[in-house]
């Protein structure tokens, strides 16, 4: 089965970088730096545990995928940044 596209959206400018989402992620699919949060698309299975865990409603589930959302958000910028480290 083809891997589903990313449905987890990081709302820009809201994250407190607390790491609660990382702690529940079973796929090690979230990269958290001092002030950057990014979803690693290759690993994310859209299970939504991070969305439920987020104390501040920063993460959102979008069934239709997030590719149509604005590109200048933390999720996309840092996704590339995080992957550049690997």
Partner 1 sequence: MKKQYDVIVVGAGPAGSTAARYAAANGASVLMLEKDRDVGYPVRCGEAVSHEGVIQFIQPDPKWIASTVTKFRLVAPNGSSVIPQLDGVGYVLERRIFDYELAKLAANEGAEVITKAYVYDLLKDSNGEAAGVKALIKDVKVEISCKVVIGADGVESRVGKWAGIDTTCHIRDMESCAQMTISGIDVDDETLDFYFGDEVSPGGYLWVFPKGKHTANVGLGLSVEEAKKKSAIKFLQEFIEKKFPNAAVLTHIAGGVPCAKTCDTLVKNRVMLVGDAGHQVNPVSGGGIISGMIGGMIAGEVAAEAIQKNDLSLLVQYEKRWQKRLGWRHEVFYNIKEAIAGFSDDRLNSICTSALKLPEHKRTLGGIFRTALWNQPSMLLDVAKVFVS
Residue 53 near partner 1 by CB under 8 A: yes
- CB 2, min distance to partner 1, A: 25
- CB 25, min distance to partner 1, A: 7
Q: Both tokens of residue 45?
A: 């299975």
At 10 the three-state DSSP class reads: strand
Of 5-13, 38-46, 52-60, 67-75, the segment contacting partner 1 by CB under 8 A is: 52-60
Residue 24 near partner 1 by CB under 8 A: yes
DSSP labels for 15-46?
-----HHHHH-TT--EEE-SS-EEE-TTT---
């Amino acid at each position: 089965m083809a891997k589903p596209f990313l449905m987890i959206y990081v709302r820009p400018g809201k994250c407190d970088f607390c790491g609660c989402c990382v702690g529940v992620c079973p796929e090690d699919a979230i990269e958290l730096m001092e002030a950057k949060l990014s979803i690693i698309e290759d690993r994310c299975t859209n299970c939504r545990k991070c969305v439920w865990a987020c104390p501040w409603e920063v993460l959102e589930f979008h069934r239709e995928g997030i590719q149509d959302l604005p590109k200048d958000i933390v999720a996309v910028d840092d996704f590339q940044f995080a992957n550049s480290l690997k």
